Amino acid sequence: MAGFWGARKKEREQLAAQDAEFGRRADAALVAADERLRTTQDELAFAEIELGSDATRDLRDALTAVRTHLREAFQLNQLNHDEIPDTAEEARTRNTRIIQLCDWAEDLLDDRLSALASPVERARRAPEIIDGIRAQVARDAERIPRIETALARLGERYSPDALRKIAGNTREAAQLLEFATHGADVSTARRESGQREQANLALETAIEAGRRATTLLDAVDAFEVEALRAESTLDAIVEDSRDDLAAARDLRAVPAVATAMTTLEQELGALTPAGSKPDPFSELTRLRAANAALDSAVAKARERAERPVPPEGHVRHAIDDADRQLGVARSVISGHRGWIGADARTRLAEAERLRLDLAQLAATPIGEDDREQALADARRCGQLAAEALQLAQRDIDSSRPNDGGWGGQGGGGRRGGGGDIASGILGGLVIGSILDGIFD
């Protein structure tokens, strides 16, 4: 008994130590959050100097929210240190809330400050960035004559349709470079006059204009290489397409293959003749699509040749056979509703569900792609109906009275007769199916 009370005392001491440590953590979190609030206020002041008040609105709103919630945390902390004694559970709840509020406050301030870090850094480096913009504008301006020469050379080799995406790049790039220079000048003037928000806006605009101009000029340089790669790929696909056409001749009797072959032959015939200006990109796209369509049609035809499609007559015969078995099972189960168990009714419901799915398919001519699945569903439907009939006959036999009033041995003979009736029905269905298959 002394050991029990000693263990309880030790547990209470450990819990008290944990609560004390939890209280110290709450105090430390509150001090850290309060210090973070003050430093963030200073950073907001510096950010407003660099960016203006509109750009720092999110951080200002976050500081307001943090002050509101830290006020609650300070009030809870005051309750922990007043003269009114508290239970351990009350102190634990308050400390948990204090830590939650402090963690939330620091996470919110971190998020808002990280969002402002890049704009502030850019604003502080504005003179350096503007110098970089001017240097990039000068380099791109020197590229324009060379790019125009390259466009003229490309125009002699490729069609206007192929060059449509890059034909106006030099003209648009020259306008963007002029706009970037103007934005840099405006940013410098506004920053010198103390209008930081307008200066930063002009700086962002200049940066984006310079970036777009460089992208347009790079696109012209990349076009020639991409066009050469497209021509090389086109030659390879032309050769591959001719080989595919030769390999697919033995399957031309298949309508899908014949259509795909005709389309591919038309695309090959529509290629730009020698001496004319091609559009390798559009020709490559069309030829790829036609080649892929032929590959798909040939693969499907070969797969179908390896696995013949069942004739539609066989599928409809299987559906008719399933209907006959369903009719017999349905009549037996509906005629003995109180005697039939759940197994038989479940098999019948599954069979009827499959038959409903087949009804939508059988209402129209059954396509070759659907026949194999339809045949499997019809056979499964007939099998479920047969199982439902067998289970129903078992339930009927087990529900009949087995006493002298039923006729003793005669009663047993009648039960056997019921089983023979079900067997005769199933045998007749099987024989009918065999005869139908022979005559079909």
**Are 229 and 170 in a shared domain?**
yes
**Are 219 and 345 in a shared domain?**
no
**Are 210 and 321 in a shared domain?**
no
**Are 364 and 432 in a shared domain?**
yes
Look up the domain containing 119 and give its range. 2-124
Q: In degrees rounded to 5, what are phi and psi of residue 87?
A: -75, 160
Instruction: Find the range with the poorest average confidence among 70-74, 393-397, 415-419.
Output: 415-419
* Final residue before a domain boundary, out of 94, 124, 154: 124
Model confidence at 214: pLDDT above 90:
yes
Model confidence at 374: pLDDT above 60:
yes
Q: Write down the mean pLDDT value for the chain.
A: 80
How confident is residue 418, by pLDDT bands cut at 50, 70 and 90? very low
**Are 205 and 235 in a shared domain?**
yes
**Do 238 and 274 contact (CB within 8 A), yes or no?**
no
Which pLDDT belongs to residue 432?
43
**Are 278 and 155 in a shared domain?**
yes
* Final residue before a domain boundary, out of 307, 330, 365: 307
Model confidence at 405: pLDDT above 50:
no
* R_g of the chain computed on alpha carbons: 43
Matching residue, tokens 């080989």 = 243
Give the mean pLDDT of 99-112: 87
Q: Which residue has the higher pLDDT, 328 or 57?
A: 328
How confident is residue 216, by pLDDT bands cut at 50, 70 and 90? very high
Q: Which two tokens stand for residue 140?
A: 């791109």
**Do 379 and 355 contact (CB within 8 A), yes or no?**
no
How confident is residue 8, by pLDDT bands cut at 50, 70 and 90? low
Give the mean pLDDT of 258-287: 89
**Are 132 and 118 in a shared domain?**
no
**Are 39 and 163 in a shared domain?**
no
* Final residue before a domain boundary, out of 124, 153, 181: 124
**Do 283 and 234 contact (CB within 8 A), yes or no?**
yes
Q: Which two tokens stand for residue 422?
A: 């079900």
How confident is residue 322, by pLDDT bands cut at 50, 70 and 90? confident
